[in-house]
Amino acid sequence: MIRLGVPSKGRLMEQTFDWFAMRGVRMSRSGSDREYAGRVEGAEGVQLVLLSAGEIPRELAAGRIELGVTGTDLVREKLAGWSSELVELAPMGFGHADLILAVPDCWRDCRDLDDLAAIARDFRAEHGFRLRIATKYHRLVRAYLAAYEVADYQLVDSQGATEGTVANLTAEAIADITSSGETLRANNLRILDAEPILRSQATLFAARAAMGPQLSDFAAQLGLPEIATG
Ligand SMILES: Nc1ncnc2c1ncn2[C@@H]1O[C@H](COP(=O)(O)OP(=O)(O)OP(=O)(O)O)[C@@H](O)[C@H]1O
Ligand SMILES: O=P(O)(O)OC[C@H]1O[C@H](OP(=O)(O)OP(=O)(O)O)[C@H](O)[C@@H]1O
């Protein structure tokens, strides 16, 4: 049996269902919108497991599902050394979002990472604490800022509504996912002029430990390029 983890709600779930339907595999919830079981038609031996997008990386790594759909951002954030545990079978062409750093629009002198590094250096002396960056992407943000030699900051954990933290005075800057940019604009934030921390999209992942003939057959049925097994 191949257990396939799919996000349990919203656009990500609907677009995942559409992606599989285009490839001849029809998925649906078994019962009401609140029931987290699902049906699969058009593929033998595949069981649908509806899960939080954020839990799918760990479920794959733990061997509780063999395949999973989630954003590349969540896999890279949640699993250190993700590529030793998972294989990227197919980018799915939706759920595009960039993980970016943003500062208050009124910080006229903060345009890029060099400016941020300089402001962060002065911030502590001036305020008695390090500049706060709100995010749920701790691992990715730390690695990125280390690469650009930004050091004088602290991360503040924010699991949602991250753009609100600056107005709420719990952070000076944020690192979060954006697609249309509307949430940033509505909260008077501006993206730093720099490469995004990550460009993410919804992706079909397989657990490396589960690779074998059954997964290969299913991948072939979906029209994916031949995958190495073992
Ligand atoms: N505005 C957006 N546009 C496109 N993709 C997005 C957007 N916001 C989030 N995503 C992507 O959707 C995926 C799920 O995001 P997130 O964990 O925030 O979802 P959620 O619906 O809050 O899920 P959970 O059930 O874990 O709370 C992530 O990979 C993220 O990159
Ligand atoms: O650039 P935009 O198109 O405005 O999208 C960006 C927003 O979408 C996501 O939030 P989501 O709605 O998933 O809620 P969250 O705050 O719980 O993460 C993300 O965290 C941003 O807040």
Q: Which of 15, 58, 98, 177 to mutate to test the pocket of ligand 1 (most atoms within 8 A of CB)?
A: 177
CA atoms within 13 A on the CB side of 186: 9
CB-defined site of ligand 2, < 6 Å? 160-161, 163, 176-183
CA distance 17 to 202: 12
75 lines ligand 1 (CB under 6 A): no
**Residue 230 clears pLDDT 50, i.e. is over it:** no
The structure's pTM equals: 0.95
Tell me the ligand closest to 96's alpha carbon. Answer: 1
pLDDT (0 to 100) of residue 37? 78
CA distance 144 to 157: 17
* CA of 95 relative to ligand 2 center, distance in Å: 11
pLDDT (0 to 100) of residue 31? 75
* CA of 63 relative to ligand 1 center, distance in Å: 23
Q: How far is CA 171 from the centre of its chain?
A: 22
ipTM, 2 decimals?
A: 0.93
Atom of ligand 2 nearest to the CA of 179: 1
Q: Which domains does the chain have, with CATH numbers?
A: 2-96+201-221 (3.40.190.10), 97-199 (3.40.190.10)
CA atoms within 13 A on the CB side of 34: 0
The amino acid at residue 126 is: E
| pLDDT tens string 60-86 | 999 999 999 999 999 999 999 999 999
Q: What is the mean pLDDT of residues 91-118?
A: 98
